[in-house]
Every structure is written in C-alpha cells, then in structure tokens.
A and B are shown apart, each in its own frame.
Chain A
Amino acid sequence: MLTATEIQAIDHEISLVPYKKATVIEALKIVQEHRGWISDESVEAIAAHLEISPAEVDSVATFYNLIFRKPVGRHIILLCDSISCYIMGYGLLYNALQNKLSIGFGQTSSDNRFTLLPNVCLGCCDHAPALIIDKDLYRDVTVEQLDDMLNKYA
C-alpha cells in the first residue's frame, strides 16, 4: 500500500509526462525516500498504481544501482572505486572501513548503522579519494579522518 503522501508525489510526476508508466523511476525514488528501500510489496504497490506488471517495475528497480532492493542501514557509504581514486589509494580507505565496520561492499553493519557500497566515479577526481555518506561528499579523504567522519552519523 502506498501512503497518501507517496501517491500525491507520484501523481504530480504523472501530470508532467505523456503516460503513467514513464514515472516508474520517479515512483521508486519517492517510495525509497520514505521507506529507505524497495520491498516486494512496494514493487507491487507501484505496479498497481501505474497499471503495469510488477515484473516491469522490478526490471527497472533492479537495473539502477541506487535503487535498493534489500534493506539498508541508517546511513549509506558510497566509496568511489573508479580510476582516479584507485590511483590515489581508495583501497586503503576500503581496508580501513572493512576493519572499523566489520563489513565488506554490499553489506550492512550488525548495528544497522551503515551500509557500505562501491560507487563509480563521483566527479571530484582532483580531490581523490572521495566518498559520499548519505548526501555529504568528502574529498581528499585519509584513513586518519574516518573515525571523526563516521562519528557524525548515529
């Protein structure tokens, strides 16, 4: 079941395009914004609202890496693993994060605080290595800075 707020936001998107189905991605973004991730039930609810099949919604949901089809932690760490950050040593950050949080890429810490994901180039290669936590961008990151950084996220 979609909430009234979600339906209102999705219907606004529908009003801007020629047909309902074109808003699948927007609908997924809206529901994920409210619930943190996209469950099977959410897929079915979006499909019903847009009058398409759940499989069609899921084909889109599973294509895009920032739509989460599994539950995630309270905060998402996106660590850039592309070439400039590779040269500048993102591997050291990854090792340190693995040790501190006891998780690897694609996993969520046992206290449900962080999910750690790799991400393609974040577009700040002149300040590599870089990572994003939730919506905050960190640049020129060193292993020494990680503790203070993580402590900001409860």
Chain B
Amino acid sequence: MERPLTSNIHPDRPPLNLKEYEMTGGYGALRKVLKDMLPADLQKLVQNSNLKGRGGAGFSTGMKWSLVPMGENAPHPKYLITNADEMEPGTFKDRLLLEGNPHQLIEGMILAAYAIQADISYVFLRWAYHKAATFLRKSIQEAYDAGYLGKNILGSGFHLEMYLHTGVGRYMCGEETALLNALEGKRATPRAKPPFPQISGLFGKPTIVNNVETLCCVPHIVNNGADWFKSLSYSEDGGTKVYGVSGKVKKPGAWELPMGVTMRELIEEHAGGMKPGLKLKGVLPGGASTDFLTTQHLDIKMDFKSVAAAGSRLGTGTMIVMDDATCPVGFVHNLQHFFAQESCGWCTPCREGLPWVEKILLSLEKGEGRKEDIELLEMHTQYLGPGNTFCALAPGAMEPLQSALKYFRDDFDKHIDHKKCPYGK
C-alpha cells in the first residue's frame, strides 16, 4: 500500500533536512513544473486528480485555484496561504505532517503558488505547535538558501516569499476569511462572501487558502500523475487520507490510508478496537462539528460522499469515539462549551444561542432539566443551522447536538426523568 504523504515520516526521529528530502526525490516536482509546465497546466493536473480539500469542506482544490484571476491584468501581489491552524477538537493529523516532513509542505506551497502565480505565501500556524514552528522556520530558511524560495526560483523567473505566522489562539482563525482578518491584524471574525478570497482576499488581493494535508499531496500528484493519485483511493475522491482515531480505543493514532477505507477497519484494525469492557456507542467521524454516526454505520466508506450519505461529514477525517460508559449529554455539553466559548460574537444567533444551548445541557447533566428543554434544544438546531449565521461555526456546533438528540434521546430523557446523570456524574 502506497503512503506518499507519510512514508518519509518517522515520529521518533527529527524530520528530513533539505539534503535528505532531496535524496528522496524532494523538490523534483518543483524542478519539473518550473521547467515544463504552465500554471494553467498545473491547475488542470490537480483538478484532474480529484484532490479535494482536506480541511473539512472537501471542495475540489484545482477548481478553487481556477477561480483566481490570471494573466497580465491580474491584481498583484497574490497570496497563497497554508491553513495550519488545526484546532478542531479531536483533530491531530496536520501536526503529523507539519512536524514529520515540513519540506513536503513547503514544496507543495511553492507549487500551489506557481499554479496561481502568487507572490507571497504564509503558513498560518497555531500557537500551540511549537515543535512544528521550529522545524518550519529552519526548513523555510534552508529552502531560501537553496534557491527554492525568493527571487527567480531555479532561474525560472518565478518569485515567491514565504513567511511563518504563528497565531495567538481562537478556533475562529481556522475559518478561511477569519484567518485573513487575523493575518491583517484584526479580530478573527468572518467576512461576507462574495467576494470570495480568490478574488479579494488578504489585503484585498486574490488569495488561496489551503489546508496542510491538501498542499502536501501536490508534489506527489506532479511526480506521479493524476491517474496514479486517483488509483490510490477506494472512492471517487483522489488520493490517500490521514485518518485518526481518539477516545477509549486500544491504540489511538493517525494513519495514512487509501481514501474510502471503512470506519470499521479504522476503529477495529488500526485503533485495535475498544478498550476492555467498553462498547462503541457513537462516533464523530471528522471532528467536533460533525454529526454522530453509530454502530449501524461501521461499514460505510470514509470518503466525502459516503459519510454525507450516512448523514454526517468526513470533516477532517479524524474521528472521536464515544464509548458506552461516557455520558452522551456530558459529551455534547463539552462540545457546546467549546463552541460557545469560541464563537467570535459577530452574529447574534451564534453569540446568544450557543451559550443558551450550553446552559440547557449543563442543567440536564446536573439533573435540573425539564421536558421542554428537549424542544428548546431542537429549536436551536434549526435556528442555529445553515443559512442563519455568518459562518459555519454554529451550524457545525449543531451537528453533534441534533444527531445526539436523534440517536441518544433515551439518555436525554433519563436525565430528566431520574433528575440525575445516569452515568454517575
């Protein structure tokens, strides 16, 4: 089984330096592209590979790039930004790639920048990833010294600057347009779309924001072709995927596997199944803002379409497993506490609704809930749902709540009927 993204990652060793990365064929894709390919060719190649954004939304990467104005009259500077603000609860896949092989990301970024003819690139890295920051700083400098960054890269006439920006917290920075505001030194609130960042992004200039894992795929697509990339996958979405499992399983972890492996294979084989004495009760397949799936869904393929057909989202592909000794009401309360705290306060439904939801869930957990509270929660899943808010934070928050009410309704009722948490909290 091919694992292009992680085959050179050894978590117990420091990442490859420039020389070692070059020995594995590193920066070969960049040489090839600068010599033989036009930006439009590279856009087309990535579009043909069916690479879909690994940050959670699953939008075609090549399609996203194709919306950037090109040619002599295009506004400059254009920007290429890596979203390395991994802060979705339960998600730890980009950390593996950032700490494990920073040059792979840098090469992917230079290629993406070439495809859209960007002048300036940023890695927007969350503050907590200190190790990744150290490795990235060193690797970016090595890339400059080797002539892969800066003026006239490898004599091609293409210029690119690259900066590392470390954040100062707030989940909202992971939202594409809020990230742009943060980079402009503002509060990380979302922007109205349109205009989309491809037209008017950072400092009002054309901008592409891509996830770490997405960009890491690009050098491999260039080296091996679109058909090869598609052949890695068990589904129509191209490539491999870095999946993860956390919770009370025997061997929590992250693994690069063909896109479209089943949830069962991930949990039972790679994560070793549940810890002794525990049963699987529910799964958030792709981070905190995805709908619960349950044991009846274990055989679905973990790709964008199949998970959506089952009523959830692939999201980041890093799943959180809920066992049968963990209280679903307490679990969802923890999630809503997170979302209420991280709401940027920009739009009313999210700012006012999420703390209300959090308080209702807390009162249920303490045995002070009333029958009407369930209706109130259900009402919120509608009012904070898609179309009523500025960005996807509140609708995302409602996904685990609405599905918990659907699959674990008994547990909610028991809290009310028995006036206490049946899980002994």
Contact = CB atoms under 8 A, between A and B. Distances in A.
B128 A84 contact: no
Nearest to A24: B185
A123 interface: yes
A132 B187 CA distance: 25
Interface in A116-133: 119-128, 132
B126 interface: yes
Contact of A123 (B87, B248, B320, B344): B87
Given A123-B86, A137-B130, A65 B170 contact: yes
B288 A22 contact: no
B252 A126 contact: yes
B184 interface: yes
B171 interface: yes
A88 interface: yes
Contacts of B128: 78, 119, 122-123, 132, 137
A18 B76 CA distance: 12
Contact of A82 (B90, B186, B253): B90
Given A124-B92, A125-B90, A125-B246, A86 B169 contact: no
Contact of A87 (B167, B244, B320): B320
Interface residues on A, range: 35 or more
B400 to A, nearest CB: 9
A65 B337 CA distance: 15
Interface residues of B, number: 54
A84 B331 CA distance: 10
A65 B343 CA distance: 12
Which of B89, B127, B284, B320 counts the most chain A CB atoms within 10 A?
B89
B382 interface: no
A132 B245 CA distance: 22
Contacts of B184: 22
Contacts of B284: 83
A25 B185 contact: yes
A103 B253 CA distance: 33
Contacts of A24: 185-186
Given A64-B167, A126-B246, 7 more contacts: A16-B163, A25-B182, A63-B188, A84-B320, A88-B247, A120-B341, A121-B90
5 contacts: A28-B168, A82-B334, A121-B88, A123-B128, A125-B92
Interface of B: 86-92, 94-95, 126-131, 163, 166-171, 182-188, 203, 244-248, 252-254, 284, 288, 318, 320, 322-323, 326, 330-331, 334-335, 337-338, 341-342, 344
